[in-house]
Structure 1
């Protein structure tokens, strides 16, 4: 089992790096919004700021949380605890356990994302992700460390309640992050292809709406991997034509908000209209 976990961890890193490189190349060749107007230097600064957050978060998860997730998973399995372990005890096959793990984790991610928009304290951290006015593939890694710590700590309880194996969690995260990179990228698909794909997964056209500056659009399309949670939760929304969409947050549009220090201290500054929603 440890060999499988190690393999999935290596695959996760490799898939993320390949996805980043490939999508950066596509963005450079065929950008949808062309935020940087061909300026490699500005795009490089943007990449460094976003990836500084992403790499910091990856290190924290690796050092402080993976071993705890493994403990939670092993405890749930050994004690027959959690939804999937209860179902396995009455005949759920191994493939059903894995499919259930992917669906349950993605459902949790939908609800976690939604409450990050609804609870002002959590929004303070999550807005770091939304404050990027030049959304591209690197924005998929732009989450404040505080949000990652909250999410990772809560995941311990999710693992116990669901009975997910650690290798299933790693499998889900590998697939999910590949889709997250894809739908954050500054690209667009032909409408028919995007429509076909978004019947199952979140697409660029769908997720760009979530990064709109208009709050009713910001507060929609919370899904990470599978798009159908938004249809079930009645939070699905499209914007047409997509070129008229304005991305980012009006309250965090200064040069400071694009630098590494500004990203780290953004949750602790006033200025967001939701700060008064207490």
Structure 2
């Protein structure tokens, strides 16, 4: 565990970028060989749109990273946050508890709120417009949503009292997890089901991308599945019945057009669905 802590305490930016690019590449190759759905689409055009949003997410997080660093250092220095208020524990338990809480606030909570607050939904809607979910869809977030999610990640660091190595570890696991559960892959159903008791599996998350309610408002988790099960937002839908997208934006000329996607949050007619 100490080796992991040492590595993530000083992880170079190049390594973090390599993990992101490497993850997309690996899952893209796997889903090309063993696809869940055989999409009829311009794959590189679709990937180009999603990679653009991935790059804007990277830029937003890079520009704001100094805030996260200062906040994490402040919590440790001032012994603030849940982890700093608890009795001393084994480092492995400490790390697991911290990751669970960061996932609750930085992933589940913000995701849940984005579905319930109309203004925030306008930005998150871009993610749901994708009708061809694959691993490139993982970071299909409007730049405005990237800022929103950064705010909640920072809030999580403050409330949890996370040291910076834990923040970097969480972000790394979060990137890989979202690439995995968005990938257009078909795991054996029993394997996927078993995984869903611990982490967010591909089948579990793809229910969230079904185009109709109430499935759209379910399975908000990213790394751990415990929060959906605990808060009653866990739902099951056979993979054969899943239809991707959102019922208000099913036209390809909208959801497959970068300019129109960037403009969606500023159309007042968009509302939560």
Post-superposition offset of 1:246: 1.0
- Whether 1:72 and 2:71 are equivalent positions in the alignment is yes
Per-residue CA shift, 1:189-246, capped at 9, x if unaligned?
1111111111111111111110001110000111111112111111111112x22211
Q: Which of the numbers 84, 88, 92 marks the counterpart of 1:91?
A: 88
The size of the alignment, in residue pairs, is 267
Q: Which of the numbers 218, 241, 245 marks the counterpart of 1:248?
A: 245
Residue number in structure 2 paired with 1:267: 265
Alpha-carbon distance between aligned partners in 1 of 2:8 and 2:183, rounded to the nearest angstrom: 30
Alpha-carbon distance between aligned partners in 2 of 1:159 and 1:273, rounded to the nearest angstrom: 30
Contact 2:121 2:271 in 1 (8 A): no
Q: Quick check: 125-134 or 151-160, which moved more?
A: 151-160
TM-score under structure 2 length normalisation: 0.91
- Whether 1:25 and 2:42 are equivalent positions in the alignment is no
Q: Which of the numbers 221, 225, 229 marks the counterpart of 1:227?
A: 225
Residue number in structure 1 paired with 2:16: 12
Contact 1:35 1:134 in 2 (8 A): yes
**RMSD of aligned C-alpha atoms?**
1.9
Post-superposition offset of 1:135: 0.7
Contact 1:106 1:224 in 2 (8 A): yes
Post-superposition offset of 1:164: 0.5
Post-superposition offset of 1:50: 0.6
| Structure 1 unpaired stretches of 5+ | none
TM-score under structure 1 length normalisation: 0.90
Alpha-carbon distance between aligned partners in 1 of 2:59 and 2:119, rounded to the nearest angstrom: 24
- Whether 1:54 and 2:58 are equivalent positions in the alignment is no
Post-superposition offset of 1:2: 9.2
| Structure 2 unpaired stretches of 5+ | none
Residue number in structure 1 paired with 2:113: 115
Q: In the superposition, relative to structure 1, how do residues 31 and 258 fare at CA in structure 2: closer, same or farther (>3 Å)? A: same
Alpha-carbon distance between aligned partners in 2 of 1:99 and 1:258, rounded to the nearest angstrom: 39
Alpha-carbon distance between aligned partners in 2 of 1:131 and 1:32, rounded to the nearest angstrom: 19
Contact 1:9 1:170 in 2 (8 A): no
Alpha-carbon distance between aligned partners in 2 of 1:56 and 1:26, rounded to the nearest angstrom: 25
Post-superposition offset of 1:95: 3.0
Secondary structure class of the residue paired with 1:189:
coil
